Structure 1
Amino acid sequence: MPPNNYNVLPRGVEPSEFQTAVEKFKALLGAENVLTESSQLAPYLKIMMPVPESEHAPSAALMATTVEQVQGVVKICNEHKIPLWTVATGRNFGYGTAAPHHRGQVILDLNKMNKIIEIDPVLCTALVEPGVAYQQLVDYIKEKGYKLWVDPPAPSAIVGPVGNTLDRGVGYTPYSEHFMFACGMEVVLANGDVLRTAMGGIPNSNTWQTFKWGYGPYLDGIFTQSNYGIVTKMGFWLMPEPAAFKPFAIKYDNDEDIEDLVEMFRPLSISGVIPNAMVFVGTLWEASPTVRRSDYTTEKGATSKEIIQRIRDEHQIGAWTAYGALYGTQEQVDVNWKIVTDTVKAAGKGTIVTEEEAGDDIAFTYRADLMRGNMTLVEFGLYNWRGGGGSMWFGPVSQAKGSETRKQVELATQILNKHGLDYVGEFIVGQRAMHHLIDVLFDRTDPEEMKAAYACFDELLDEFAKHGYGVYRVNPEFMHKVADSFGPTQRAVNKTLKRALDPNNIFAPGKSGIDLED
């Protein structure tokens, strides 16, 4: 392809310079693994943010299969100042998909690096490459007959443990805080060196996946939500299959019940009576597997309280539904089940639903699958609520206190409704803190809704920051804004690390608001 035929170029890179780099990439990876045609790049261009796709268009995509190839790519990028945006398995829906932070970055796709290197069924550890998906991992565990569970996020089947952990994602079993259960990384640095963190630096180490800390400063954390290196292997801990598992749901009728149910279940979470990541699900999220907004109205704007109440009544959906599970021996589960039911009865409200009582209820089955580590894609039903392919996850963190929770719901609902959008949210309990996940859903084919969604998300970030709430993860369009909300000192430290580890600024400039050209 002649140099002047490239539709998109990296910032500051001349066509001839880019052409030279592309030829080197082809020599290293094979021409079939260097994608430059528009049709080839289309999968990396699909976005759900309320901006034109062209703002996040990549220059090319590279498919690497080995660590040595990744090192080679990094060398070429340093020589020609080519920025890399790394992706692997998964789609990252709601958080930016596979599109780069800004126009012109080259995608490094590690989807073909998909080896399950080791699983130790005795110590319950795994070591995998970034292209391994949870479905692949579950299939392998079943094939080997290991009594082990994984902890996937909601769109489990197509997501990978490496990518999700690096963005500090969460799941729904007792192993829900994914980075907490990560142990040991292999990282290609910008100078081409390969770093093995924790005990991985010891030759022939057999404790790389068993002891997180190693010796000296703990480094693994700086490679999460950052652009300081490319993780090519990661270890993590698997959950032993429990003898007994009991999922349950508790339905609450009123919007204000969120305050009481948080107060009720936080002590049971902190004490370990309910060991998994409990979830409190709002009406529209709970309805998403089976209900479409168009079933009730085609009017633009926020869905009325009357329609939301009709959905609750017609589909027997609570204002809030609490989902949790008990794990352990049958004796442990029986004791803890009595504690749970006694607590609910003492509160005088809430309808308990067990797996037997739920039967084939889609929403219950979906949640039970997540809490036992099964694969599911039911959550994508959220995107059918309004239709049109627009989605941005807004993820403020909340204290696990009822008053804080209700305050967040009311603030978010007010802002969303102001912009003609709906509150579609849930809380994931992590003992003392909760991830408040709100899916800002809109129609990307409607220019008015695109503008409204952008303004809405911008206002959500501003207003929540004013109240002292930070978000834990965000799409590329708003990464700099979120980074600013955490203050100039943190931004300066992040930039200092970037300058030391990646002086040519080739790794994902702009990721988490870290860019030497700012």
Structure 2
Amino acid sequence: MPSKTKTAAASAPEAPAVLPAGVSATDMASAIAEFVAILGPQNVLTDADHIAPYTKVMIAESEDLHRPSAVLYAREVGEIQKILKVCNDYKVPIWTISTGRNFGYGSAAPQSAGQVVLDLKHMNRILEVDPVLCTALVEPGVTYQQLKDYLEEHDIPLWLSCPAPSAIAGPLGNTVDRGVGYTPYGEHFMMQCGMEVVLANGEVLRTGMGGVEGTSAWQVFKWGYGPYLDGIFTQSNYGIVTKMGMWLMPKPPVYKPFCIRYDNDEDIHDIVETLRPLRIANVIPNAMVFANVMWEAAALMPRSKYYDGTGTTPDSVLEEIKAKEGLGAWNVYAALYGTKEQVDVNWQIITGAIKASGKGKIITEEEAGDTQPFNYRAKLMRGDMTMQEFGLYRWRGGGGSMWFAPVTAAKGSETVEQTRLAKEILGEYGLDYVAEYIVGMRDMHHIIDVLYDRSDPEEMKRAHECFGKLLSEFGKRGYAVYRVNTAFMDQTADLYGPVKRKVDQTLKRALDPNGILAPGKSGIRI
């Protein structure tokens, strides 16, 4: 912990610069005093210097709209239970984070100003790894890097599936927000099994088989008995997840990553139609990626290398980038896993399908060598740690990023329509279409990084308006995002209809009658 934190421990925390809505200064002072009694003054932060990292956002809104009143560090479930009692007593709202690396979706800052941030990064124990059943049980602060290091140190031949900012992100936080990865285990919530959840009243719930005393099946059988509850604690504010079970992938004897490059933007239709049957049949078993030229270029270099003008990047510049950097208009990344015999058979099927389509150039690992972006894509598809994708933030510069992530059915016609619509709206606001499709079994996550300059107030205003229009125009056509940043949670929730919002609110009132847990998360309030 920084030296300033140790210095702060000698005196009581300062009065918060911002108060939670509806909480008086007197009540907040009493709550802070009780937090100090529970955690010690070094774990209760209220001064501006220590609050600052929790106000930093990449979304197109002022940091003041997301400034917390205080930050708490808890190290065990018992402390969380005591904290929640204080929050209920004084009606203090609390926003929980694990590693706080949710860049582009709101980072570590709360949905609204004044909420207390509960940072669980110090709850970072790997509680169990079973190398026989290929399971793990982890706390919120465990990072992918930490878990990978553990597997390697103990010579356990299991692979992770992780998001692009892998090393510093954590499996619990990513899974609870229903994030995705790039291996055959890329649908992270599907590979989750069993949770421990601290409810708003302080009770501790263990989902699935976890409520059975002495069970050995908590991390192997998802469903338990009666209603399946794990899902309601993802993308919600119904409880604080303090432990999570997960399934890990056995290291395959053969791993064969490859790329398929396509020359033209309109090829996206045929890419989907050619590869979807292979994904559904599990010939291609992992979460493929279809990355456009702008995404690939942005991960490697600033835009100024080829273009220093304003507005969207001209098509002529993109053609120059493709020619000089060896990129396609669309760049498909996939991999094969298994025995040599399995890989050989599936490789013949894939190469035959590409040849029959008449489009696409296949590039193997041997042909690509150590070149980028192939190298970092190959790492992601085997669960290795990489920070390469943070290069996206160099593209325009200025620290602005918002992920727009609509879901599309894996049909060429829908992909063409979403691509056209996104380019049109982004172009209207002078912003680039920096995008990739992450392929599930029958769906695709259309991931667009709305990059802009936060230091330019006019551009930040345009980016905010652009994002709102993307949500509304996509929504009119039946497309909605699967995940969104803290500035647009209410607008997104509206797309899913009034009945869904009413059910969400009913659950909230039953489980958190004082509304203390992350009010506004996913548009849910009492």
Could you state the TM-score of these two structures normalised by the residue count of structure 2? Answer: 0.97
1:251-302 C-alpha deviation (Å, 9 max, x unpaired): 0000000000100000000001000001100011011232221122222211
CA 1:109–1:319 in 2, change beyond 3 Å: closer, same or farther?
same
1:3 and 1:183 map into 2 onto residues whose CA distance is 39
CA contact (8 A) 1:3 1:19 kept: no
What is residue 95 of structure 1 aligned with on the other side?
A: 105
- Any runs of at least 4 consecutive aligned residues in structure 1 with deviations exceeding 6 A, and if so which? 1-4
Greater Cα shift, 229-238 or 303-312:
303-312
Distance 1:290 1:191 in 2: 48
Matched, 1:307 2:317: yes
| TM-fit CA distance, 1:2 | 8.9
- Cα shift readout 1:187-244 (whole Å, capped 9, x = no counterpart): 0001110000000000111100000000000000000000000000000100000010
Distance 1:190 1:501 in 2: 7
The 3-state SS of whatever aligns with 1:366 is helix
* Residue aligning to 1:118: 128
What corresponds to 2:358 in structure 1?
Answer: 348
**2:478 counterpart of 1:475:** no
Match of 1:35 among 38, 45, 56: 45
- Take 1:214 and 1:246, find their aligned partners in 2: how far apart are those partners? 37
Work out the CA distance in 1 between the residues paired with 2:300 and 2:489. Answer: 33
Q: Counterparts of 2:299 and 2:238 in 1: how far apart (Å)?
A: 39
Q: Distance in 2 between matches of 1:85 and 1:477?
A: 15
**Residue number among 214, 224, 227 corresponding to 2:224 in the alignment:** 214
Is residue 3–residue 16 contact of structure 1 (8 Å, CA) maintained in 2? no
Q: Are 2:18 and 1:8 equivalent residues in the alignment? A: yes
| 1:13-40: CA deviation from partner (whole Å, max 9, x where unpaired) | 1111101100100110111000001000
Q: Contact 2:434/2:448 (CA < 8 Å) preserved in 1?
A: yes
- Counterpart mapping for 1:33-72 below 5 A: 33-72=43-82
Q: Secondary structure at the match of 2:189?
A: helix
Name the aligned partner's letter for residue 142 of structure 2: V
Structure 2 residue 338 is the aligned partner of structure 1 residue 332: no
* Structure 1 residue 350, shift from structure 2 partner: 0.8
Q: Does the 8 Å contact 2:291/2:330 carry over to 1?
A: yes
Matched letter for residue 337 of structure 2: Y
Equivalents in 1 of 2:80, 2:468: separation in Å? 36
CA pair 3-131 structure 1, distance change in 2 beyond 3 A: closer
- In structure 1, the partner of 2:516 is 506
Q: Does 1:452 align with 2:452?
A: no
Q: Evaluate the alpha carbon distance shift between residue 68 and residue 347 of structure 1 in structure 2; reply closer, same or farther with a 3 A threshold.
A: same
> In structure 2, what is the Cα distance between the partners aligned to 1:218 and 1:376?
34
SS at match of 1:312: helix
Q: Match for residue 505 of structure 2?
A: 495
Does structure 2 retain, via aligned residues, the 8 Å contact 1:86–1:109? Answer: yes
Is 1:270 paired with 2:280?
A: yes
1:138 pairs with 106, 128, 148, which one? 148
Q: 1:36 to 1:337 in 2, by over 3 A?
A: same
Shift of 1:94: 0.6
Partner of 1:391: 401
Q: Pick closer, same or farther for the CA change 1:66–1:259 going to 2, 3 Å.
A: same
Q: Which residue of 2 aligns with 1:400?
A: 410
| Corresponding residue of 1:179 | 189
Structure 1 length as normaliser, TM-score? Answer: 0.99
Residue 52 of structure 1, CA deviation = 0.9
Q: Does 1:428 align with 2:438?
A: yes
Contact 1:280 1:426 in 2 (8 A): yes
Counterpart of 1:371, as a letter, is: M
2:153 & 2:221 partners in 1: Cα distance?
27
| Structure-2 separation of matches of 1:122 and 1:303 | 51
Aligned residue type for 1:36 = T
Q: Is the 8 A contact 2:13 2:44 kept in 1?
A: no
Say yes or no: does 1:253 pair with 2:263: yes
State the number of aligned residues: 516
The residue that corresponds to 1:237 in the other structure is 247
2:3 counterpart residue number: none
Q: Distance in 2 between matches of 1:289 and 1:395?
A: 18
Kept after mapping to 1: 8 A contact 2:398/2:452:
yes
The amino acid of 2:73's aligned partner reads M
Contact 1:440 1:453 in 2 (8 A): yes
Matched position secondary structure for 1:306:
helix
- Given candidates 308, 312, 319, the residue that maps to 1:298 is 308
Deviations 1:431-458 (A, max 9, x none): 2100000000000001111011001000
Q: Which residue of 2 aligns with 1:23?
A: 33
Aligned partners of 1:90 and 1:133 also within 8 Å? no
Q: Counterpart of 2:494?
A: 484
- Tell me if structure 1 keeps the 8 A contact 2:12–2:41: no
- Distance across 1 between alignment mates of 2:13 and 2:389: 43
Q: Which runs of 5+ in 2 are unaligned?
A: 1-10
One-letter amino acid of the structure 1 residue matched with residue 109 of structure 2: A
Q: Which residue of 1 aligns with 2:389?
A: 379
Contact 1:78 1:504 in 2 (8 A): yes
Tell me the secondary structure at the aligned position of residue 437 of structure 1: strand
Report the 3-state secondary structure (helix = DSSP H, G, I; strand = E; otherwise coil) of the residue aligned with 1:175. coil
CA distance, structure 1, for counterparts of residue 59 and residue 137 of structure 2: 33
Query: Shift in Å at residue 381 of structure 1?
Result: 0.4
Task: Specify the alignment match of 2:4 in structure 1.
Answer: none
- Cα distance in 2, alignment partners of residues 368 and 3 from structure 1: 47
Kindly state the Cα deviation for residue 50 of structure 1 after the two structures are TM-superposed: 1.1
Task: Give the residue type in structure 2 aligned to 1:425.
Answer: A
- Secondary structure of the residue aligned to 2:127 is strand
